[in-house]
């Protein structure tokens, strides 16, 4: 169990919390929620359970299944319980031995611990989440790469808690296919050393909180036998709902659905084969990509729309710390994420900067975003904990490289560490302009050399994109143009 303490609730406190209409969670399921919160949500990390295509929504459900149904000797044990494939394939692909399947019905309220599976929606692959709390109107889920609110914008997908109005979210995601309730008997069988406490989820902030800490796991007085009995009743009800659904579905509708499903699976298989072929081709070409010798780094970044100079701007102009942050956010594809910040979020973040009043208005959102994501640490820390940013000071080579490394999710605690980190990011390439990374102030041309190295050779370090090249992310996201990139590199 996680060290976070459990709460025992007494009758005199019942009015404070509203309990979920659930049959209760096992110790192993609560342990998984703790892991998600302590290791992923608090650290803004994503789960890539299958090491394929980065952190997708399916990875959270797969991680959950692996945690509660561990199978010794099976590296991808979730494939033997939850199944394998896109999100919208999990409802029918999950093994009946491990999950109770309840088809969608507007009057059904899911249980804490249920896996909720969506159809097509805004993605051909559907969507999947793990329910934390639900009532007749709202549901709170733990997931990543959701189609609704995403606090990380284009910066990448991470695990987070989200609250949705039940009926609206059902429509937005293309319809709920159904719910997968893990069978307690199988959880007990796969975890013989698991303790027998059971829990339910309670909260005093019904339906509205995206903060995991507002949901508490309260120990119940239900025995394992009682939980099994309740779950048996759930399974009987689920089968009755499925039978009713089948009876109401006409033969014509069923044939049409099966035809569409077969076509979709065929298209998805073709798409997966294409993606694998493209990935293989990219790996084969990787060694041949190098910087162009016929164009300067500064001109290359102008052509790629990273630098957007005025008529009087030159590569010899010195670069301020404010300008450096803006350039790096643009280079790493995070401008859209900056736009997600509200005025209140920006204002609250800038309270941590003692000289925020002299930051240009156009740069305040960039600075707020950099503070919230630990990209900058300032030139000085005041006794009250606020930082001095020095927005109008010229930036040094090592400061610029440090900010850029942090944007790529590398941990750089001090300026002295950035030199070794820089080598790691560019894979120790000998043709990189490492001499620019120094204690000296740099101009736009110098900064362009660092950014160009990162663009051509640099890769991410975060859990959601470890090993993903920066150039690949920018190209596939459409942030930079393929033809323009080819024109400023050599193969």
Would you tell me how many other CB atoms lie within 10 Å of the CB of residue 329?
24
Asked whether residue 390 is assigned to any structural domain, the reply reads yes
**Are 209 and 121 found together in one domain?**
yes
Which tokens hold the place of 274? 């294409």
pLDDT tens digits for range 197-208: 888 888 876 556
Average pLDDT on 290-301 reads 74
Q: Report the alpha-carbon distance of residue 136 to residue 328 in Å, rounded.
A: 45
**Co-location of 241 and 303 in the same domain:** no
In terms of average pLDDT, the best of 208-222, 252-266, 391-405 is 391-405
Residues 194 and 319 in one domain: no
What is this structure's pTM? 0.47
pLDDT bin (cut points 50, 70, 90) of residue 14 is very low
Q: Is the pLDDT of residue 277 over 60?
A: yes
Last residue of a domain, one of 213, 248, 283: 248
Pairing of strands 127-134, 115-118: antiparallel
Taking residues 199-220, report their average pLDDT: 79
Give the range with max mean pLDDT: 19-33, 227-241, 296-310.
296-310
CB atoms closer than 10 angstroms to residue 88: 27
Q: Write out pLDDT tens, residues 130-150.
A: 999 888 778 889 998 765 444
Domain edge (last residue) among 223, 248, 273? 248
- The distance of Cα 453 from the centroid of its chain, to the nearest Å, equals 26
Instruction: Note whether 81 and 165 are same-domain residues.
Output: yes
Distances (CA, A) of 18 to 15, 22, 209, 274: 7, 12, 14, 49
Q: Does position 315 have pLDDT exceeding 60, yes or no? A: yes
Q: How many Å apart are CA 40 and CA 463, to the nearest integer?
A: 9
The answer on 432 and 307 residing in a single domain is yes
Lowest mean pLDDT among 84-88, 220-224, 277-281, 456-460: 277-281
Size of the chain in residues: 491
In the predicted structure, residue 384 carries a pLDDT above the cut 90: yes
pLDDT of residue 68: 93
**Domain for residue 278, yes or no?**
no
Residue 82 lies in a domain: yes
pLDDT at 6 > cutoff 70: no
Q: Which residue has the higher pLDDT, 346 or 135?
A: 346
Residue found by looking up tokens 């659904």 in the block: 245
- Does residue 279 fall inside a structural domain? no
CA atoms within 13 A on the CB side of 120: 7
Give the CATH number for residue 140: 3.90.1720.10
Confidence of residue 30 (pLDDT cuts 50, 70, 90): very high
Tell me the mean pLDDT in the region 345-359: 93
Highest averaged pLDDT of the listed ranges 147-161, 238-252, 449-463? 449-463
Q: Is residue 262 part of a domain?
A: no
**Which band of pLDDT confidence, cut at 50, 70 and 90, is reported for residue 424?**
confident
pLDDT at residue 20 greater than cutoff 50? no
SS (H, E, C) the chain: CCCCCCECCCHHHHHHCEECCCCCEEHHHHHHHHHHHHHHHCCCCCCCCCCCCCCCHHHHHHHHHHHHCCCCCCCCHHHHCCCCCCHHHHHHHCCCCCEEEEECCCCCCCCCCCEEEECCCCCCCCEEEEEEEECCCEEEEEECCCCCCCCCHHHCCCCEEEEEEHHHHHHHCCCEEEEEEECHHHHHHHCCCCCCCEEEEEECCCCCCCCHHHEEEEECCCCHHHHHHHHHHHHHHHHHHHHHHHHHCCHHHHHHHHHHHHHHHHHHHHHHHHHHHHHHHHHHHHCCCEECCCCCHHHHHHHCCCCCCCCCCCCCCECEHHHHHHHHHHHCCCHHHHHCCCHHHHHHHHCCECCHHHCCHHHHHHHHHHHHCCCCCCCEECCCCCEECCCCCECEHHHHHHHHHHHCCCCCCCHHHHHHHHHHHCCCCCCCCHHHCCCCECEHHHHHHHHHHHHHHCECCCCCCCCCEHHHHHHHCCCCCHHHHHHCEEC
CA distance 45 to 36: 9
Q: Which of 75-89, 169-183, 374-388, 455-469 has the weakest average pLDDT? A: 455-469
pLDDT for the residue 251: 67
Nearest Cα to Cα of residue 112 among 221, 217, 40: 217
For position 21, what pLDDT does the model report? Answer: 38
Window from 140-149, 367-376, 433-442, 458-467 with minimum mean pLDDT: 458-467
Q: Assess if residue 35 is contained within a domain.
A: yes
Residue 161 and residue 223 share a domain: yes
Q: Could you list the residue range(s) of the whole structural domain that residue 333 is in?
A: 294-490
| Least confident piece of the model among 33-47, 146-160, 243-257 | 146-160
Which residue among 210, 231, 248 closes a domain?
Answer: 248
The average pLDDT across 64-72 equals 90
The share of the chain scoring above pLDDT 70, in percent, equals: 82
Higher-pLDDT residue of 10 and 439 is 439
Indicate whether 45 belongs to any domain: yes
Q: Mean pLDDT throughout 349-364?
A: 94
Is the distance from CB of 199 to CB of 206 less than 8 angstroms?
A: no
- CA separation for the pair 149, 142 (Å, rounded): 12
Rounded to the nearest 5 degrees, what angle is found at the Cα of 438, between the Cα atoms of 398 and 315? 85
Domain count, the chain: 2
Q: Would you place residue 249 in the very low, low, confident or very high pLDDT band (cuts 50, 70, 90)?
A: low
Other CB atoms within 10 Å distance of the CB of residue 140: 27
**Arithmetic mean of pLDDT over the chain:** 80
Q: Do 211 and 347 sit in the same domain of this protein?
A: no
List pLDDT tens digits, range 90-109. 888 899 899 999 888 877 88
Average pLDDT over residues 125-133: 87
Query: Which position has the token pair 């208005």?
Result: 361
73: left (phi over 0), alpha (psi -120 to 50) or beta: left
Looking at residue 207, its pLDDT comes to 54
β pairing state of 127-134 and 18-19: unpaired
According to the model, what pLDDT value does residue 168 have? Answer: 66
At 288 the pLDDT is 52
One domain, residues 175 and 46:
yes
- What tokens were used for 135? 């009532």
Distance CA 131, CA 139 (A): 7
Query: Per-residue pLDDT for 56 more than 80?
Result: yes
Does 427 score more than 80 pLDDT?
Answer: no
Residue 334: per-residue pLDDT: 86
Between residues 87 and 321, the one the model is more confident about: 321
Q: Note whether 233 and 348 are same-domain residues.
A: no
Q: 205 and 327 share a domain?
A: no
In a domain, residue 263? The reply is no
310 in the same domain as 239: no
Interval 12-29 mean pLDDT: 53
Q: 45 and 180 share a domain?
A: yes
Residue 347: pLDDT over 80: yes
Distance CA 385, CA 356 (A): 14
Give every CB contact of residue 458 below 8 A, 6+ residues apart in sequence: 408, 425, 426, 469, 470, 471
> Residue 85, CB half-sphere, CA atoms under 13 Å: how many?
20
The closest of 153, 123, 150 to 333, measured between CA atoms, is 153
More confident residue, 169 or 66: 66
């Amino acid at each position: 169990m996680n060290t976070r303490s459990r709460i025992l609730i007494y009758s005199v406190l019942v009015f404070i919390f509203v309990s979920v209409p659930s049959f209760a969670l096992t110790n192993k399921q609560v342990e998984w929620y703790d892991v998600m919160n302590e290791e992923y949500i608090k650290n803004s990390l994503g789960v890539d359970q299958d090491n394929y295509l980065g952190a997708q929504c399916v990875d959270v459900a797969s991680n959950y299944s692996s945690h509660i149904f561990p199978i010794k000797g099976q590296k991808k044990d979730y494939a033997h319980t939850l199944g394998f494939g896109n999100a919208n394939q999990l409802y029918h692909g999950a093994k009946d031995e491990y999950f109770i399947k309840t088809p969608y019905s507007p009057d059904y309220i899911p249980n804490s611990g249920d896996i909720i599976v969506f159809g097509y929606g805004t993605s051909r692959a559907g969507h999947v989440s793990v329910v934390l709390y639900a009532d007749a109107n709202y549901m709170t889920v733990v997931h990543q790469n959701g189609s609704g609110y995403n606090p990380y914008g284009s910066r990448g997908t991470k695990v987070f808690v989200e609250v949705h109005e039940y009926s609206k979210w059902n429509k937005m995601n293309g319809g709920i296919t159904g719910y997968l309730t893990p069978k307690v008997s199988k959880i007990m069988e796969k975890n013989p050393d698991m303790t027998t406490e059971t829990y339910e989820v309670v909260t005093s902030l019904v339906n509205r909180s995206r903060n995991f800490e507002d949901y508490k796991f309260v120990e119940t007085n239900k025995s394992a036998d009682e939980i099994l009995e309740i779950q048996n009743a759930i399974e009987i009800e689920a089968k009755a709902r499925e039978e009713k659904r089948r009876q109401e579905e006409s033969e014509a509708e069923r044939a049409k659905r099966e035809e569409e499903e077969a076509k979709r699976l065929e298209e998805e298989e073709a798409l997966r084969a294409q993606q694998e072929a493209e990935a293989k081709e990219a790996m084969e070409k990787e060694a041949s990509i190098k910087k162009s010798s016929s164009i300067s780094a500064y001109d290359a970044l102008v052509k790629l729309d990273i630098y957007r100079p005025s008529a009087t701007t030159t590569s010899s102009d010195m670069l301020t710390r404010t300008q450096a942050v803006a350039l790096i956010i643009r280079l790493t594809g995070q401008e859209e994420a900056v736009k997600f910040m509200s005025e209140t979020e920006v204002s609250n973040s800038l309270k941590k900067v003692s000289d925020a009043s002299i930051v240009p208005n156009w740069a305040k959102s960039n600075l707020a975003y950099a503070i919230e994501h630990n990209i900058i640490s300032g030139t000085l820390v005041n006794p009250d904990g606020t930082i001095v940013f020095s927005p109008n000071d010229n930036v040094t080579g090592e400061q610029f490289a440090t900010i850029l490394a942090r944007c790529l999710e590398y941990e750089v605690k001090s300026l002295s560490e950035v030199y070794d980190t820089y080598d790691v990011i560019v894979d120790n390439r000998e043709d990189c302009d490492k001499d620019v990374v120094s204690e000296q102030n740099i101009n736009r041309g110098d900064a362009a050399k660092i950014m160009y190295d990162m663009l051509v050779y640099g890769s991410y370090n975060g859990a959601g994109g470890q090993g993903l090249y920066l150039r690949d992310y920018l190209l596939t996201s459409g942030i930079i143009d393929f033809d323009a990139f080819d024109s400023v590199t050599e193969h």
